[in-house]
């Protein structure tokens, strides 16, 4: 027998032996591209996974529920993600010496474990998803659990020297830019790292570790996910999944978009992965998404989108991470007349400040940036009155100096635009250029949303810092290097504010994170004195005033939805509970016990706008701020929430006023709650008409698709009502057309006045209770805007964030 025939025979024997022993590979044998190892019960498989045209990586993937290796399996580990091998003659070979080697086309070594063992070894795939190289004595020489790629499986320990690294894209499995690892400060962090820029984005980088509730002094650096869905880490970070307690398939993956998500899946055949926790709920907070000189904004459909700054153009439209480049150049000689600034409202760039300059006027800040050649623009913002004394104290300044912060930037990275940002960004462009903020820098949708991202449930953690502490910390971070005292002050500040939070949150869902409590029915019964004081009543239920055990006064809503599963209810409630905005009512907790379903909200001293409209207490100034605040709240709901929440019942009864007459929109999310529970309907289409007569958009009547524009319509009606003091049904024209279609009396009346009234038409319609005491310019803007909001054609109505923008920058429109 010649040697070639012998080798052939040998390879056949090896092949057969590998097929016989399904879950393990014996010493001296090898796996070729078509061979697969299967764990004993078939949950996981290991083999060559196709990653491109005739390109394979040696990988481990989930095989139960079944999937086809050619496209849709979920891989959990890869040996050679950055060095795919050829589909022909590549193999994984367990050598007699104990070394496990992956060869490419029989020539190159693509990957190896570099292990040596005198005794014989086996490669075994376990049902945990761990691929283990062990010798006959059971000593582990190597295991895949020690070198994770982008996924951590239950019972896999995540330690000091490990990192999870994202894939490059949805379809490209090679190493991407996002990493989860234990930093030198012993904290588990997420990092963006391309070849030029590295920046940490989770936990929120400008928060000190106390604020993030992390513990930096445990150097064991160990984290682990258990099979029931609880994750714990030695830095005291922990979370439980929304479906905690159930035995499901689970994986913690750092996705290619930079978010860390826990997924779970039932073992049914058609089951899909659902997100049961994620690290960041606002995708624009993930650094690097849009690259330098571009702005990330939230998009309800694709998740987020990138756009170039005015005067900049995209470098590579297929890969936004390389960002944008200028279409201009500004020469650097001493001539400060070369440049000017474009103001970009509600835009913020994180990091890369030269320094922070407190107390600078806009003009001083502008000059500072002009005089420095490398300055690309500056962030400028006012500081709340409450914080300024501390800041000025830290900087030895008189408190009479204007309370502002000026941040000149050397590089523009991590840009965000959001209706909630109050600061302004000023972009430096050549003086002679024609670019303006009116330039369409709308950009392109970045297709980075994970399809599974809109799960039916989930309590995502929501860092509940308020604007004030955030600003304070941001400020402190910027000054941190210089001002140690600053950090201390911040720490005190936070410490005091977080204490209340802690006490209120020893409940059921992530106590540490959501600040959200589960109440028992008897607690709420006691709090409301057996539901004695009724303060409101609506379609969803009745609201009672109550005093919680910690003496906080609350509004407790008893829902009339009885026969509904607890899990479903929790799911919805936790979605609502994570929404946090100064113009949205805050939910403190809930109760789900037997038939009872209750929601616990903060109590609003001044009741609803409906009660106050006919009173002199709300003068013009207050009315205007109610208009603005309500718009901000709705804009946040429409554009910033993880799930796209419509309100669907905007009316004066649902706009509540706090002790400062600051408006807060209430009852949001409930439309969906009722909808889900009532009849099982599609997401964007509701069959039953909801909302309140007089405030409902024509879409409801004509059975057109329901979008966020229905809220814009209702908002317009409320504004007209607030300006005129007349309710939507009455207003001069026929009050008898009831039942015809919609009662558009008020709108028609205002439009007719505008058409026929000549110069003073505004005076004609304004609520007489104001006694002429209002700002004419502002009034006109508000009325015009309200009329635009109530256009029949939904596309002619502005978005809520446009409304906010116009109201905020009304001076420009006067």
Ligand X SMILES: *[C@@H]1O[C@H](CO)[C@@H](O)[C@H](O)[C@H]1NC(C)=O
Phi, psi of 257 (to 5 degrees): -85, 5
CA–CA distance, 582 with 725 (Å, rounded to integer): 26
Q: Return the DSSP state at 799.
A: P
Nearer to ligand X, 176 or 663 (CB): 176
At closest approach, how far in Å is the CB of 92 from ligand X?
21
754 neighbors 787 (Cβ within 8 angstroms): yes
Do the annotations mark residue 557 as ligand-binding? yes
Nearer to ligand X, 372 or 799 (CB): 372
Of 314, 381, 373, residue with least CA distance to 343? 381
Nearer to ligand X, 269 or 400 (CB): 269
461 neighbors 281 (Cβ within 8 angstroms): yes
CA–CA distance, 717 with 807 (Å, rounded to integer): 16
Side-chain-side CA neighbours of residue 442 (13 Å): 3
CA–CA distance, 809 with 802 (Å, rounded to integer): 11
At closest approach, how far in Å is the CB of 269 from ligand X?
4
Q: What is the largest CA-CA distance in the chain?
A: 112
Q: Return the DSSP state at 520.
A: P
CA–CA distance, 222 with 160 (Å, rounded to integer): 7
Phi, psi of 758 (to 5 degrees): 70, -150
**Residue tagged active-site, from 104, 649, 667, 711:** 649
**Chain centroid to CA 640:** 7
Q: 141-166 in b/e burial notation, b at 16+ Cβ within 10 A?
A: bbbbbeebbbbbbbebebeeebbbbb
Of 709, 723, 799, residue with least CA distance to 761? 723
For helices 709-724 and 776-789, what crossing angle results, to 10°?
Answer: 140
440 a catalytic residue: no
Give the 3-state DSSP-derived string for 271-313, with helices as H, strands as E and coil as C.
CCCEEEEECCCCHHHCCCCCCCCEEEEEECCCEEEEEECCCEE
At closest approach, how far in Å is the CB of 408 from ligand X?
17
CA–CA distance, 192 with 351 (Å, rounded to integer): 14
CA–CA distance, 144 with 127 (Å, rounded to integer): 13
Supply the DSSP string of 371-402, one letter for each residue: H-TT--EEEEEE--TTTHHHHHHHTT--TTS-
CA–CA distance, 136 with 513 (Å, rounded to integer): 47
- Rounded to 5°, the CA angle 59-61-65 comes to 160
275 neighbors 268 (Cβ within 8 angstroms): no
At closest approach, how far in Å is the CB of 197 from ligand X?
16
Nearer to ligand X, 318 or 756 (CB): 318
Residue written as token pair 């910033």: 640
Nearer to ligand X, 510 or 558 (CB): 510
Nearer to ligand X, 181 or 474 (CB): 181
283 neighbors 190 (Cβ within 8 angstroms): no
At closest approach, how far in Å is the CB of 90 from ligand X?
16
Side-chain-side CA neighbours of residue 209 (13 Å): 14
CA–CA distance, 589 with 519 (Å, rounded to integer): 7
Using CB under 6 A as the criterion, which residues of the chain lie in contact with ligand X when the complex forms?
A: 52, 168, 170, 172, 174, 215, 218, 220, 222, 234, 236, 268-270, 301-302, 334, 447, 512
CA–CA distance, 548 with 500 (Å, rounded to integer): 13
At closest approach, how far in Å is the CB of 641 from ligand X?
18
Nearer to ligand X, 682 or 755 (CB): 682
74: part of which helix (H) or strand (E)? none
Q: Return the DSSP state at 705.
A: P
Nearer to ligand X, 437 or 498 (CB): 498
153 neighbors 183 (Cβ within 8 angstroms): no
Of 414, 412, 429, residue with least CA distance to 293? 412
**Chain centroid to CA 790:** 30
Task: Work out the burial of residue 451: count CB atoms within 10 Å of its CB; fewer than 13 is exposed, 13-18 middle, 19 or more buried.
Answer: exposed
Of 651, 643, 778, 769, residue with least CA distance to 710? 651
At closest approach, how far in Å is the CB of 224 from ligand X?
8
CA–CA distance, 63 with 74 (Å, rounded to integer): 8
At closest approach, how far in Å is the CB of 189 from ligand X?
17
Nearer to ligand X, 424 or 514 (CB): 514
Annotated binding site: 557
- Which residues carry out catalysis? 649
């Amino acid at each position: 027998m010649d040697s070639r025939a012998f080798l052939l025979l040998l390879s056949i024997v090896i092949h057969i032996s590998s097929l016989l022993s399904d879950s393990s590979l014996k010493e001296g044998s090898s796996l070729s591209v078509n061979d697969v190892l299967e764990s004993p019960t078939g949950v996981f498989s290991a083999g060559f996974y196709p990653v491109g045209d005739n390109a394979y990586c040696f990988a481990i993937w989930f095989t139960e529920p079944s999937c086809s290796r050619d496209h849709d399996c979920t891989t959990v580990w890869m040996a050679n993600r950055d060095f795919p091998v050829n589909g022909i003659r590549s193999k994984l070979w367990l050598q007699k010496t104990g070394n496990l080697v992956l060869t490419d086309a029989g020539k190159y070594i693509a990957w190896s474990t570099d292990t040596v063992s005198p005794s014989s070894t086996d490669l075994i795939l376990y049902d945990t998803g761990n691929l283990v190289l062990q010798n006959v004595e059971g000593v582990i020489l190597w295991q895949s659990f020690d070198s994770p790629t982008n996924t951590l499986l239950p019972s896999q320990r995540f330690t000091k020297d490990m990192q999870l690294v994202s894939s490059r894209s949805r379809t490209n499995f090679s190493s991407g830019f996002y990493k989860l690892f234990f930093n030198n400060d012993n904290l588990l962090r997420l990092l963006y790292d391309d070849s030029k820029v590295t920046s940490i984005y989770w936990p929120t980088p400008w928060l000190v570790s106390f604020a993030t509730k992390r513990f930096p002094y445990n150097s064991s650096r160990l984290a682990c996910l258990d099979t029931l869905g609880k994750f714990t880490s030695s830095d005291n970070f922990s979370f439980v999944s929304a479906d905690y307690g159930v035995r499901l398939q689970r994986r913690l993956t750092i996705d290619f978009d930079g978010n860390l998500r826990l997924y779970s899946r039932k073992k049914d055949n058609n089951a899909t992965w659902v997100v049961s926790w994620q690290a960041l709920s606002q995708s624009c907070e993930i650094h690097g998404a849009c690259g330098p000189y571009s702005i990330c904004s939230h998009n309800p459909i694709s998740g987020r989108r990138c756009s170039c700054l005015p005067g900049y153009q995209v470098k590579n439209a297929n890969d936004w991470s390389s960002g944008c480049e200028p279409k201009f150049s500004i020469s650097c000689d001493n001539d400060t007349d070369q440049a000017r600034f474009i103001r970009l409202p509600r835009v913020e760039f994180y990091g890369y400040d030269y320094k922070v300059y407190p107390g600078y006027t806009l003009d001083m800040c502008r000059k500072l940036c002009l005089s420095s050649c490398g300055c690309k623009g500056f962030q400028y913002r006012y500081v709340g009155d409450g914080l300024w004394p501390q800041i000025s104290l830290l900087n030895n300044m008189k408190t009479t100096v204007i309370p502002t912060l000026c941040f000149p930037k050397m590089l523009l990275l991590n840009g965000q635009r959001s209706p909630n940002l109050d600061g302004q960004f000023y972009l430096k462009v050549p003086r002679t250029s024609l670019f303006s903020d009116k330039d369409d820098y709308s950009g392109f949708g970045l297709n980075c949303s994970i399809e599974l991202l809109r799960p039916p449930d989930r309590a995502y953690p929501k860092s509940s810092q308020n604007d004030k502490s955030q600003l304070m910390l941001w400020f402190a971070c910027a000054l941190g290097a210089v001002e140690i005292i600053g950090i201390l002050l911040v720490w005190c500040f936070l410490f005091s504010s977080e204490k209340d939070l802690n006490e209120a949150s020893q409940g059921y869902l992530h106590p540490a994170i959501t600040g959200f409590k589960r109440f028992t029915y008897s607690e709420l019964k006691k709090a409301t004195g057996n539901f004695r004081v009724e303060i409101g009543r609506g379609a969803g239920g009745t609201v009672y005033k109550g005093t919680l055990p910690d003496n906080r006064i609350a509004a407790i809503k008893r829902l009339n939805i009885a026969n509904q599963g607890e899990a479903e209810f929790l799911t919805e409630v936790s979605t609502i509970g994570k929404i946090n905005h100064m113009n949205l009512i805050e939910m403190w907790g809930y109760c789900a016990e037997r038939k009872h379903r209750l929601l616990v909200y903060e109590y609003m001293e001044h009741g609803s706008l409906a009660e106050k409209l006919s009173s002199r207490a709300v003068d013009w100034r207050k009315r205007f701020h109610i208009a603005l605040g309500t718009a901000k709240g709705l804009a946040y709901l429409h554009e910033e929430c993880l799930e796209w929440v419509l309100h669907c019942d905007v009316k004066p009864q649902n706009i509540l006023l706090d002790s400062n007459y600051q408006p807060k929109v209430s009852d949001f999310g409930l439309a969906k709650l009722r909808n889900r529970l009532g009849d099982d309907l599609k997401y964007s289409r509701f069959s039953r008409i909801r909302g309140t007569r007089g405030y409902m958009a024509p879409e409801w009547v004509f059975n057109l698709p329901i979008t966020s524009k229905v809220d814009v319509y209702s908002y317009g009606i409320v504004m007209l009502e607030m300006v005129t003091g007349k309710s939507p049904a009455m207003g001069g024209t026929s009050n008898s057309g009831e039942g015809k279609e919609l009662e558009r009396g008020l709108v028609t009346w205002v439009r007719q006045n505008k058409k026929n009234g000549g110069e003073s038409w505004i005076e004609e319609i304004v609520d007489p209770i104001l006694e002429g005491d209002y700002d004419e310019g502002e009034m006109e803007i508000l009325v015009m805007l309200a009329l635009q909001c109530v256009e029949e054609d939904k596309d002619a109505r502005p978005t809520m964030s446009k409304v906010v923008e116009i109201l905020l920058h009304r001076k420009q429109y006067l």
